[in-house]
């Protein structure tokens, strides 16, 4: 696991992982996984609605950089 971005209480991490390209976001002990290609929730979220909305916005904001980093880590 590699933490890529810490912003607004969120930690955005990328694992050496499987397709589809996605990131893991954590905040206050809650987690959500978001796909990088569609900026949609990938796995059942364990996060309140306000934080989910902010998490999606954060991934959209950094989509290009996160996608590049995912490819560096996962080939």
Question: pLDDT value at position 43?
Answer: 81
Question: pLDDT value at position 24?
Answer: 96
Provide block-wise average pLDDT over 10 residues at a time, the chain (75 residues).
Answer: 92 95 95 96 87 97 97 94
pTM as predicted: 0.92
Question: pLDDT value at position 45?
Answer: 76
Strand partners, 25: 12, 32
Question: pLDDT value at position 44?
Answer: 76
Q: Which helix (H) or strand (E) holds 25?
A: strand 22-27
Give the residue among 65, 47, 53 at the shortest CA–CA distance from 23: 65
């Amino acid at each position: 696991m590699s933490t890529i971005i810490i912003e607004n209480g969120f930690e955005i991490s990328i694992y050496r992982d499987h397709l589809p390209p996605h990131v893991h976001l954590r905040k206050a002990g809650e987690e959500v996984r978001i796909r990088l290609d569609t900026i949609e929730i990938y796995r059942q979220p364990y996060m309140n609605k306000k934080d989910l909305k902010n998490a999606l916005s954060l991934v959209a904001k950094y989509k290009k950089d996160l996608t590049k980093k995912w490819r560096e880590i996962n080939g």
